[in-house]
Amino acid sequence: MKFALSPEQAQFADTLDALLAKSDVARAWAAGDHEPGLAVWRHLADLGVTSVAQDGEPVDLVVAMEAVGFHALPGPAIETLAVLPGHTDGALLATVAIPPHVPYAVDAHVAERVFVLRNGVLFTGTPGQRISSVDPCRALFEVTPATEVGPLDGAFDRGVLACSAQLLGAGRALLARSVDYVKQRTQFGKPIGSFQAVKHQLASVHVGLELARPVVYGAALNAVPVSAAKIAAGDAAYRAARTALQVHGAIGYTVENDLSLWLSKVRALHTAWGTGSVHRARVMATLTRPAGPH
């Protein structure tokens, strides 16, 4: 499957990259200082990015979420951009819990609108106990339903697609950082990037990400199941994370190194919005579903 962005979509991607490359807000967000991150989100809203799922095409959403993943932008991006457009009532950020596969709402203490979806029906929600996450930029909260809002169809699949795109972006960022690092770190008087073993590892990561990308964009076009996109992007990003940790050595394990921002994000998103086993079962169900009458 081949996929190419339109000139407008490529320009959209470049605009997001230029904006988000200037922001360095993840560490402040993790420390409880949300204002720098909210300022970035307000800028995105001014550009119309927060309404991309309503006003644009599904591919535009994938472009936006890939940029969010690449630049480690904190906040409930999946929920705000993909799942809840039309239900935010002008709020900058919104979040939702969708049991059983999304049992907690992300950043409910920051989002202006909090919801819970049960059996296809959306309710406003009241945040409860905070649950620890492996990603310090990702606070999780139990949510108690309050007032019924109405039906919300396709919410889980939209979230899965957005999560897949975010994983793809995070994987690309890990590969880029790893490539830069192996050019600088030396061993035996040579950059470690000159060693065949390191080249092979990074090449395998690159191939995995490049193979996952058309699956994710194909899911946006309904050409493949969104569960297939989550499997492909999740596995590729997880391999990028493991390889990044290996080539960085001991420094990769330190929280002071910025690599940790993407490592923890990938580890969290890899099982968020349904584990690999959940999505493999969904793909299998699709493949074994009896064909309809001709």
Q: Where are the domains of the chain?
A: 156-288
The Cα–Cα gap between 247 and 269 comes to 22
Query: What's the confidence (pLDDT) of residue 152?
Result: 96
Query: What's the confidence (pLDDT) of residue 189?
Result: 83
Which helix (H) or strand (E) covers residue 145, if one does? Answer: strand 140-151
Query: What's the confidence (pLDDT) of residue 291?
Result: 66
CA distances from 217 to 12, 163, 173, 228 (A): 15, 12, 18, 11
Residue ranges of alpha helices (H) inside the chain are 7-21, 26-30, 35-46, 52-55, 58-70, 77, 155-184, 196-220, 226-248, 259-271, 276-288
What does each of the 294 residues of the chain score in pLDDT, given as a tens digit? 567 888 999 999 999 999 999 888 999 999 999 999 999 999 999 999 988 888 778 999 999 999 999 999 999 999 999 999 888 888 999 999 999 999 999 999 999 999 999 999 999 999 999 999 999 999 999 999 999 999 999 999 999 999 999 999 999 999 999 999 999 988 888 888 888 999 999 999 999 999 999 999 999 999 999 999 999 999 999 999 999 999 998 888 888 899 999 999 999 999 999 999 999 999 999 888 776 665
Query: What's the confidence (pLDDT) of residue 126?
Result: 97
Asked if 202 and 247 touch (Cβ cutoff 8 Å), the reply is yes
Q: How many other C-beta atoms lie within 10 A of the C-beta of residue 291?
A: 5
What number does CATH give the domain 156-288? Answer: 1.20.140.10
Place of tokens 């049960």: 118
Spatial neighbors of 34 by CB under 8 A, at least 6 apart, are 28, 110
The Cα–Cα gap between 234 and 275 comes to 9
pTM of the model: 0.95
Query: What's the confidence (pLDDT) of residue 53?
Result: 81
